Amino acid sequence: MINPINNNNAFAVASPGAPKTDVKGKERAVPPPPMPPEIPPEQPPMPPEPDIKGECTQSYPLSVYDIKKYQEIVNKAEGGSITFLVENGGLYTSTAFRDKLSKIAELVSQLNAYVHDKPVLRIRIVDTLGHRGEFTPGGEGIVISSSVLNEEDCLYTIAHEMGHAIYCSMPKDKEFWQKIYLYSLGNRRYGLVTDSRFTLNSGYYGHPFRNPAELFASSFAAYVMRPNEMICTDDPGILNDSRLMGKILFCYIRDKVVEGKIFGAEDPFKSCDAEKLINSITEEDIYGSIQSALHDSTCDFRNTSVSEMAANELFSRARKNERYSKLLAASAFDKDPVMRRAVIVAICRSSLRDAKMDQILLSALHDSDPYIRALVEGELLKRKINFQKPAFQEF
Ligand SMILES: [Zn+2]
């Protein structure tokens, strides 16, 4: 049973990957969740009017966007110039758009103070609905969809992408981030910093569960744009272990990332230290977190699900630790198809092979879920393992 974070947040709305059953009682595959809008914002100070320069031509490294031409709009923000690369400069001549670009430039300039290597000096705006925003280290920097500009909360997307720029550049304790990430997966604790927590109408989850970098980017955006909601000291719907996670993230960003700067009205954790707090999370907590996350079918727009993330971690731990190995074997035959699928997918994806895993796959040939059976059959063929296809009665 997974506890919701509170009655208001977007987790109450959806369980996008949850298996459904049709009228004949057969499980069917779940359609991917609807394309989400990404992240939310708030208003920073007003900046100067940008210059629109002439058109230039450059190749864009990601052919998926098929962008050959764009125009430069240079915005002289207080902390330095930010260049926007847009497909059609004519769309950005209205006062409303110029104001929006100015606000983005101000925020990027402000947050560049925390980027350790190359600051973000340009933002490409692509006319596609194929994605919302991304940061590519050493490449394009920030790329956002023009549709994001129409959203009230577009600065939240920018803060999230700047979080990626900072995470890529900062010296970090990888063990710390792996531990807090695994802890965040259980009982949907990641929901505390998921972008939808702050945009209750959008229904979008954000994806802090995808990896430690995403957890950081979502936490950073929350720290900068919605600090009071992140600390959640007066929200009775937040579970205590989620509060602990929020406290650790808040203190870490405050002390290790933004040199003590507070973006909210107050700092309720003045005497707390992130590293001491994380030491209070035990190996037992992490085991319980992975176990819980294996049941969580929440997924993002790339269909990356919490259960799969947990299964990947379980798989790598199972190879070194008997307790996790037993959990893996039991999970492959759990009554929850979400858990079974995640574990079988993790086994099939791995290039590591051994007799124990082969045996799990052979047993999974008899799974009641046709998706799992098809997956396993394909994998056994790939592994050149002889098997006999069990007869299943089709309804
Ligand atoms: Zn991200």
User: pLDDT, tens digit, for every residue of 271-299?
Assistant: 999 999 999 999 999 999 999 999 999 88
Ligand 1 centroid to 333 CA: how many Å? 33
The CA radius of gyration of the chain, in Å to the nearest whole number, is 23
- Which pLDDT does position 1 carry in this prediction? 34
Which of 188-192, 358-362, 372-376 shows the lowest per-residue confidence on average (mean pLDDT)?
Answer: 188-192
Tokens of 203: 């229904």
Q: How many Å lie between the centroid of ligand 1 and the Cα of residue 210?
A: 9
pLDDT at 284: 97
Query: How remote is the CA of residue 172 from the centroid of ligand 1, in Å?
Result: 18
For residues 204 and 173, what is the distance between their CA atoms, to the nearest angstrom? 30
Q: What top-level class would CATH report for the domain 51-167?
A: alpha beta
Centre of ligand 1 from the C-alpha of residue 134, in Å: 6
Q: Which of 193, 196, 192, 210 is nearest to 307 (CA)?
A: 210
Of residues 31 and 7, the one with the higher pLDDT is 31
**C-alpha 178 to ligand 1 mean position (Å):** 16
Residue 68 pLDDT = 57
- Dist. CA 161 → ligand 1 center (Å): 6
Percent of the chain residues topping a pLDDT of 70 = 78
> What is the distance between the alpha carbons of residues 188 and 4, in angstroms, rounded to a whole number?
7
How far, in Å, from the CA of 131 to the mean position of ligand 1? 11
76-128 pLDDT, tens digit per residue, is: 877 778 999 888 777 788 888 888 999 999 999 999 999 998 899 999 988 87
pLDDT of residue 14: 28
Judge whether 281 and 313 are in contact, CB under 8 Å. Answer: no
CA of 47 to the centre of ligand 1 (A): 26
Measure 322 CA to ligand 1 centroid, in angstroms.
34
> 155-164, 187-196, 284-293, 302-311: which has the highest mean pLDDT?
284-293
Dist. CA 218 → ligand 1 center (Å): 7
pLDDT value for 375: 94
**Amino acid present at 17:** G
Residue 168 Cα to ligand 1 middle (Å): 12
- The Cα–Cα gap between 260 and 254 comes to 5
Q: How confident is the model at residue 196 (pLDDT cuts 50, 70, 90)?
A: low
Q: What local confidence, expressed as pLDDT, does residue 234 receive?
A: 75
Cα 227 to middle of ligand 1, angstroms: 18
Q: Determine the residue type at 47.
A: P
Per-residue pLDDT reduced to its tens digit, 243-266: 999 999 999 999 999 999 999 888
207 C-alpha to center of ligand 1: Å? 7
Judge whether 308 and 346 are in contact, CB under 8 Å: yes
22 CA → ligand 1 middle, Å: 35
Taking the centre of ligand 1 as the mean of its atom positions, its distance from the CA of residue 111, in whole angstroms, is 16
pLDDT higher than threshold 90 for residue 328 = yes
In terms of average pLDDT, the best of 62-66, 133-137, 180-184 is 180-184
Length of the chain: 395
Of 33, 15, 7, the residue nearest 336 (C-alpha): 15
**Assessment of whether the complete model's pTM goes beyond 0.95:** no
Mean pLDDT of the region 25-44: 40
Mean model confidence pLDDT for the chain: 79
Contacts 24+ apart (CB under 8 A), 209-212: 209/184, 209/185, 209/293, 209/298, 209/300, 209/304, 209/306, 209/309, 210/300, 210/304, 210/309, 211/181, 211/309, 212/174, 212/177, 212/178, 212/180, 212/181
What distance in angstroms lies between residue 36's CA and the mean position of ligand 1's atoms? 13
User: Lowest-confidence range among 40-49, 183-192, 347-356?
Assistant: 40-49
Closest among 380, 369, 322 to 347, alpha carbons compared = 380
Q: Give the best-scoring range by mean pLDDT among 125-129, 325-329, 351-355.
A: 325-329
Query: Stretch 26-31: mean pLDDT, rounded?
Result: 40
For residue 143, report the distance from its CA to the centre of ligand 1, in Å: 11
Using the mean position of ligand 1's atoms as its centre, give its distance from the Cα of residue 157 in Å: 9
Give pLDDT, residue 381: 93
Where in the chain is CATH 3.30.2010.30? 51-167
**Measured distance CA(389)–CA(392) in Å, rounded:** 9
Say which range, 43-47, 114-118, 278-282, 345-349, has the weakest mean pLDDT. Answer: 43-47
Residue 34 has pLDDT above 80, yes or no: no
* Poorest-pLDDT segment among 28-42, 86-100, 181-195, 229-243: 28-42
CB 233 within 8 A of CB 146: no
* pLDDT bucket at 329, cuts 50 / 70 / 90: very high
Q: Quick one: three-class SS letters along 38-85?
A: CCCCCCCCCCCCCEEEEEEECCCCCHHHCCCEEEEEEEEECCEEEEEE
- In the reported structure, the alpha carbon of residue 64 is separated from the centroid of ligand 1 by a whole-number distance in angstroms of 19
274 CB-contact burial (10 Å; exposed 0-12 / middle 13-18 / buried 19+): buried
Report the distance separating Cα 126 and Cα 386, nearest Å: 50
- CA 52–ligand 1 middle distance (angstroms): 29
